[in-house]
Amino acid sequence: MALDGKLLEILVDPLTKAPLIYDRDHDELVSVESGLAYPVRDDIPVMLEEEARRLSTEEIEHWRRSR
């Protein structure tokens, strides 16, 4: 199930306050600015740095081009 569009509009990276990109394939919210991907579990974003996955350089470049 996809995240609600309104929720995606108001959620930001808790570290940088930058907008997030929803990666449906991996069920993550991606922050290009901080280089982190926050998991979405049971349709609930987990916006904790310690739960986030560090993005590779290739992933960051991919998301920069996709915006």
Residue with structure tokens 């995240």?
Answer: 3
What count of other Cβ atoms lies within 10 Å of the Cβ of residue 39? 16
What count of other Cβ atoms lies within 10 Å of the Cβ of residue 27? 17
> What is the predicted pLDDT for the residue at 1?
56
Q: Is 64 helix (H, G, I), strand (E, B) or coil?
A: helix
Per-residue pLDDT of the chain (67 residues; tens, 9 = 90+): 567 888 888 999 999 999 999 999 999 999 999 999 999 999 899 999 999 999 999 999 999 998 7
Domains within the chain, CATH numbers bracketed: 5-66 (2.20.25.10)
Which residues touch 9 (CB under 8 Å, ≥6 apart)?
none
